Structure 1
Amino acid sequence: MDSRQGRVGLGQPWQPGQLLLLIPVALIVVITAADIATGPNIVLSPLLVVAPTLTAWFAGPWTTAGIGALAMAGETVSSWRTGTLSSRSVMVEVIAIAVITSLIVFLCAVRDRHARQMARVRSVAEAAQQVLMWPLPSRLGPLRLACVYLASEEEADIGGDLYAAARTGSVARVMIGDVRGKGLPALGEAALLLGAFREAAHQHASLPDLAASLDRSMTRYLPDLESEDEAGERFVTALLVEIADAEPLVRMTSCGHPAPLLLGPDNTVHVPRLHPAPPLGVGVTDPDNHAVDVLPFGPGDTLLLYTDGVIEARDHNGAFYPLAERAAQWTDHSPEALLHRIERDLLAHTGGRFGDDVALLAIHRAPSPTPATTFSASSADTPTSAGSSCGT
């Protein structure tokens, strides 16, 4: 058993790190041989310190220390062959290589420790993202969904932007929101609103009632998340969307959130004029204060929801990102392809650096099925589940 495992191990190809290790070893051999060949008049052995320095770029502290010891051995062999082993200069060179190697090993250990800490932070962030931002289904009835999330903080996967979807009977409800603030400090408000929406979306018959319920939840619990110097200054903008399967319409209630883009199959882009209410969390708990805007939303149409981090993204000249103008070029794309295009274009516009979190959500109403397809679908007793999820 053990011998067979040993043969398998010997037959395995070398890893990239092991192949790279040949470079500093070869440097030590070449420099040592050259130093011996040139004799005591030309001293090349101090160049041996390059080997552990190079090793630290791709290997850990123990491997770096081993290469440093090998470099010291090369220095010793070279000075022995040239007859200068007992000279003071050789002793200084050996000590210098040892000191520099020790410093490199220390810095390498610090780097690896920092990398492990960042890996733990990233794993926590990914776990928090899965808990807070549940992957959206790729389909909700006749609707196809796709989403993109770009956090403003480099080492974070989530921040103050949020989205969620729920299906109640033959109606799909979608929410996109933006917490005042950005990055990881805004996670508390995002978690609060997401939890409130997932529960309230199934309990209220109209969007104004849903908006009022969300406002009550935010008003009740936001003080627990506020510091003394931020009392009354925390709120969340949100856009609530309701789309029924049988109606070619979309209903929207805006709580201080930017209006979406309505992309038509004929390369048209319409920016609706909404009647926004104040953001959630400021105490607007009366449903009568929340208006419902109704727009046509037929087969082939796409609704593009976004947060203000998209339209406020700037290039190096300070120009804002022209979302409506760019989206007009890709109205005939699928939701996934549309957001892929916008994401790449937005990254190119900003140089990959964002001043705020960015969230995009595309909702596409699929064309009406043929009568034969409709009969076949209605004949099935088992529901169809989404095969994939909306990536972030």
Structure 2
Amino acid sequence: MSQHAQKVRKPLRGRAMLAIPVGWIVAVFVIDILAPPGIHLGPLLVAAPAITPSIGGPRAVGFVAVLAVIAQTAVGIIRDPDEVLSANHEAQIAALALVGVSLVVFCVLRERREKELAQVRYVSEAVQRVVLPPLPRRLGPLRTASLYLAAEAEAQIGGDLYAAARTDTGTRLIIGDVRGKGVSAVSDAALLLGAFHAAARHRASLDELVAYLDRSVSWGLAEASGAGHGESFITATVLDIPDRHARIDMVSCGHPPPIVLRDGRPMTLDAARPAPPLGLGTLSQPRYHIDSYGFAPGDLLLLYTDGVTEARDGSRAFYPLAERITGWPHSAPETFIDRFRDDLLHHVGGHLDDDAAMIAIGYAGTLRTDRAGVSGDHTAR
């Protein structure tokens, strides 16, 4: 359905729903007139303007409130024809008018707030498209799909990040999570992404690239936050997937381990010697160890942030990623991401407490491999 059709149907639906409070006013009016002298149902008229804000805006609320006041006035005149209005009816009319004015003011303020939030979302989404655009669906021989779910509905972007870059020999990827969350983490994520894009194609080895990223993050975060070294950091996993070797080279910097889904079985790629998070290297001067794992056509590589595995359901149980995806049939990365999104949101009841990101990667077809490149592979568990 087009956006224009949706905009047309929404007002029409709202006008149709106005029949509910209007019908209520008519029903109370008729019953109150026919009721015995000792029974007064006029106070029930306040329910009509009270429910109208859930149906329409200030104009609809004002219309229903005026209609309720007219109905109450008519009831008073009809039931007490010898008097213009009794004191009881005057009090009820004044109360209805006060409630109606209050609800109109509330609706005006609500609409103003909604417009402000819409503007915030628009700006945030524009920032996200610039800072964290979706990955290309094709990266050399690889097919990819990416997913970002923000915990803050008004921000649409937080501290999780990912990026990819093509080199002469393969594809390099990074996924990370800035300490903290929300809009305040966007600048830190942009800092790391900028450093990655600047160096991914020029650093000869993966360990040199990670060392460069750590230095960039260490000084950049300290200058941006005004804090000392160690108070800000970014967990990350940096990978290199060669075009002609059926393997993955990986350096882990305190980030949750990737998973390879092979024949419906998830295998965790645990790092033998993980490094500290990026931004803490100046404190420990680490030597970055490169781990290698087999990765062949038919496998699906999953990179994710802790917002996925730490997502909780109503009983506060964590999302068991490896358990949930066990037995899932082999599918394209886009199909997997769609199914995963639905499963994760179902687990948490539709609302995340932390930002979550995931990348799914598979081969687009048959890989022409050089088996000499996989002799040192570790076995994933």
TM-score, normalisation: structure 1: 0.83
**Partner residue of 2:299 out of 298, 301, 310:** 301
| Aligned match of 2:104 | 105
| Aligned match of 1:240 | 238
- Residue correspondence of structure 1 range 1-392 to structure 2 within 5 A: 15-38=12-35, 40-82=37-79, 83=81, 84-228=83-227, 232-264=230-262, 266-274=263-271, 275-284=273-282, 289-368=287-366
User: What amino acid sits opposite 2:347 in the alignment?
Assistant: H
> Would the aligned equivalents of 1:212 and 1:285 in 2 still touch at CA under 8 Å?
no
> Would the aligned equivalents of 1:35 and 1:45 in 2 still touch at CA under 8 Å?
yes
> Would the aligned equivalents of 2:206 and 2:251 in 1 still touch at CA under 8 Å?
yes
> Would the aligned equivalents of 1:177 and 1:236 in 2 still touch at CA under 8 Å?
yes
- Rounded to whole Å, the distance in 2 between the matches of 1:285 and 1:49 is 67
- Rounded to whole Å, the distance in 1 between the matches of 2:109 and 2:11 is 27
Other structure's SS at 2:144 match: strand
- Rounded to whole Å, the distance in 2 between the matches of 1:35 and 1:321 is 56
1:107 positional shift: 2.3
Other structure's SS at 1:72 match: helix
> Would the aligned equivalents of 2:25 and 2:71 in 1 still touch at CA under 8 Å?
yes
Deviations 1:40-71 (A, max 9, x none): 44323332222211212221123212221121
Distance 1:87 1:356, change over 3 A: closer
User: What amino acid sits opposite 2:216 in the alignment?
Assistant: S
| Aligned match of 1:378 | none
- Rounded to whole Å, the distance in 1 between the matches of 2:99 and 2:41 is 17
Structure 1: where are the runs of 5+ without partners? 1-10, 371-392
- Rounded to whole Å, the distance in 2 between the matches of 1:325 and 1:104 is 50
Other structure's SS at 1:253 match: strand
Distance 1:33 1:352, change over 3 A: closer
> Would the aligned equivalents of 1:300 and 1:366 in 2 still touch at CA under 8 Å?
no
Distance 1:48 1:350, change over 3 A: closer
1:234 positional shift: 0.4
> Would the aligned equivalents of 2:229 and 2:280 in 1 still touch at CA under 8 Å?
no
> Would the aligned equivalents of 2:77 and 2:84 in 1 still touch at CA under 8 Å?
yes
1:86 positional shift: 2.8
- Rounded to whole Å, the distance in 2 between the matches of 1:128 and 1:358 is 17
> Would the aligned equivalents of 1:278 and 1:284 in 2 still touch at CA under 8 Å?
no
> Would the aligned equivalents of 2:150 and 2:156 in 1 still touch at CA under 8 Å?
yes
The CA RMSD measured in Å over matched residues stands at: 2.7
1:12 positional shift: 9.9
> Would the aligned equivalents of 1:212 and 1:287 in 2 still touch at CA under 8 Å?
no
Distance 1:69 1:353, change over 3 A: closer
Deviations 1:299-327 (A, max 9, x none): 11111111122223344445433222222
Deviations 1:63-118 (A, max 9, x none): 21222112111122222223143322221111111111122222222322322222
User: What amino acid sits opposite 1:338 in the alignment?
Assistant: F
Distance 1:92 1:318, change over 3 A: closer
More displaced stretch, 143-152 vs 284-293: 284-293
More displaced stretch, 100-109 vs 342-351: 342-351
Other structure's SS at 2:326 match: helix
- Rounded to whole Å, the distance in 1 between the matches of 2:37 and 2:318 is 66
Across the two proteins, how many residue pairs are aligned to each other?
Answer: 358
TM-score, normalisation: structure 2: 0.85
- Rounded to whole Å, the distance in 2 between the matches of 1:247 and 1:27 is 73
- Rounded to whole Å, the distance in 1 between the matches of 2:43 and 2:210 is 73
- Rounded to whole Å, the distance in 2 between the matches of 1:283 and 1:173 is 21
User: What amino acid sits opposite 1:290 in the alignment?
Assistant: Y
1:18 positional shift: 1.1
- Rounded to whole Å, the distance in 2 between the matches of 1:358 and 1:288 is 28
Deviations 1:195-238 (A, max 9, x none): 1112211222221221122122112211122255x653101111
User: What amino acid sits opposite 2:118 in the alignment?
Assistant: A
> Would the aligned equivalents of 1:263 and 1:331 in 2 still touch at CA under 8 Å?
no
1:367 positional shift: 2.8
User: What amino acid sits opposite 1:166 in the alignment?
Assistant: A
> Would the aligned equivalents of 1:68 and 1:101 in 2 still touch at CA under 8 Å?
yes
Distance 1:32 1:245, change over 3 A: same
- Rounded to whole Å, the distance in 1 between the matches of 2:25 and 2:122 is 39
1:149 positional shift: 1.8
Distance 1:339 1:12, change over 3 A: closer
Distance 1:320 1:26, change over 3 A: closer
Other structure's SS at 1:269 match: strand
| Aligned match of 1:385 | none
1:296 positional shift: 1.6
- Rounded to whole Å, the distance in 1 between the matches of 2:239 and 2:10 is 55
